């Protein structure tokens, strides 16, 4: 919400509720910390990648990048997710090749497709862990989101923040975007900043790859080949403007920019533009929901989370320490 970026009238009106939210959030966390509430500790290390603000921070690309890095390092990686806006017949649900975005949720399906690793969804993440370990031999689990889900024990915590927006007006919900106080970052293992990083933060850049046709993923084209062309763009992600700005930095002239709410359910009429000869650009997260609307002018732009090798090595060292591995 726009008013979350400044301490305006609406934010101050909601501020008393924000204080109550902050108090309840802190009490809940301390109840888990001091074992007043039960915590489930998985038999293998759990790495939680989440954020302390509402909205997109680039968390999903980081989940994909870390999962692939750990797999390449020899780990048997499994991934769990809440499965926001998923509709399986029952939870927990294991994502498969036959899964749709309506059933599995857009982010879990995208993670599965980009990693080819086991992904299980369940709003109760402890059940997701148990299901994952029952059907796969994993030695490390990555939780997509869940930094505030304290019922599951966190062995390693990675918080992702928006390097531009940071923490908005600094207020907790509903007066601001914070789920927890900023001081929470002092307790996590790593703070990853998307776009711009301050000292003691790890810089993450989201770099675009070659565009590919939605109706034929074998047809690819470097974004540079669209330089100077007029095009349309739509995005139903946490921060649509970041996607539009990236396209414009590549020299693409956007005639229309259509932002939608995060996890937006596309119906097809969103692609009805005046000139169907011009390219339409969408994100990979949206692409998993839009296969039925594929035409010869809808292009998908993949992004890759790029971080220093030192970050991945630091996570592996921390993981070895958790596992008691002295190698």
Residue 88 has a pLDDT of: 97
Per-residue pLDDT tens over the stretch 229-262:
999 999 999 889 999 999 999 999 999 999 999 9
Residue segments in the chain with a per-residue pLDDT below the cut of 70: 326-327
Angle CA 44–50–51, to nearest 5: 155
Please name the residue ranges forming H helices in the chain. Answer: 9-33, 59-72, 101-104, 106-115, 125-135, 240-249, 284-287, 309-323
Residue 326 has a pLDDT of: 56
Q: Where are the domains of the chain?
A: 2-205+306-323, 210-301
How do 202-208 and 93-94 pair as beta strands?
A: unpaired
Per-residue pLDDT tens over the stretch 23-75:
999 999 999 989 899 999 999 999 999 999 998 888 999 999 999 999 999 99
How do 253-259 and 230-235 pair as beta strands?
A: parallel
CB 3 within 8 A of CB 163: no
How do 298-301 and 211-213 pair as beta strands?
A: antiparallel
Residue 92 has a pLDDT of: 98
The C-alpha atoms of residue 146 and residue 159 are separated, in whole angstroms, by 10
How do 190-194 and 156-162 pair as beta strands?
A: parallel
- The 8-class DSSP code of residue 289 comes to T
Q: How many CB atoms lie within 10 A of CB 114?
A: 18
Residue 1 has a pLDDT of: 73
The pair of three-digit structure tokens given for residue 161, joined into one six-digit string: 């923040």
CB 282 within 8 A of CB 213: no
The C-alpha atoms of residue 316 and residue 309 are separated, in whole angstroms, by 11
Which of 90, 71, 73, 78 lies closest to 43 in space, CA to CA?
78
The domain 2-205+306-323 is placed in CATH, from the list 3.40.50, 3.30.70, 1.10.730, 3.30.60, at: 3.40.50
The pair of three-digit structure tokens given for residue 222, joined into one six-digit string: 């470097």
Residue with tokens 């990555």: 142
């Amino acid at each position: 919400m726009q008013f979350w970026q400044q301490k305006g009238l609406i934010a101050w009106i909601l501020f008393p509720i924000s204080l109550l939210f902050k108090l309840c959030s802190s009490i809940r966390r301390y109840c888990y910390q001091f074992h007043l509430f039960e915590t489930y500790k998985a038999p293998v290390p759990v790495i939680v990648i989440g954020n302390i603000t509402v909205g997109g921070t680039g968390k999903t690309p980081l989940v994909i990048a870390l999962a692939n890095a750990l797999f390449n390092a020899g780990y048997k990686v499994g991934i769990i997710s809440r499965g926001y806006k998923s509709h399986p017949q029952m939870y927990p649900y294991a994502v498969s090749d036959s899964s749709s975005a309506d059933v599995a949720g857009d982010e879990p399906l995208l993670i599965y497709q980009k990693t080819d690793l086991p992904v299980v969804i369940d709003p109760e993440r402890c059940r997701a862990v148990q299901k994952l370990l029952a059907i796969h031999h994993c030695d490390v689990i990555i939780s997509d989101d869940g930094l505030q889900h304290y019922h599951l024990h966190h062995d390693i915590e990675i918080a992702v923040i928006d390097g531009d927006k940071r923490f908005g007006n600094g207020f907790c919900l509903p007066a601001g975007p914070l789920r927890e106080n900023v001081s929470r970052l002092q307790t996590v293992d790593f703070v990853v900043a998307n776009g711009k990083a301050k000292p003691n933060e790890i810089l993450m850049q989201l770099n675009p790859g070659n565009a590919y046709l939605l109706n034929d993923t074998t047809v690819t084209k470097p974004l540079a080949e669209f330089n100077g062309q007029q095009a349309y763009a739509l995005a139903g992600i946490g921060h649509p403007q970041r996607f539009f700005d990236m396209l414009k930095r590549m020299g693409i002239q956007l005639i229309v920019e259509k932002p939608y709410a995060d996890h937006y359910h596309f119906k097809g009429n969103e692609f009805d533009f005046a000139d169907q000869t011009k390219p339409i650009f969408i994100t990979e997260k949206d692409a998993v929901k839009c296969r039925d609307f594929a035409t010869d002018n809808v292009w998908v732009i993949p992004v890759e989370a790029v971080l220093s090798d030192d970050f991945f090595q630091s996570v592996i060292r921390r993981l070895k320490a958790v596992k008691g591995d002295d190698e």
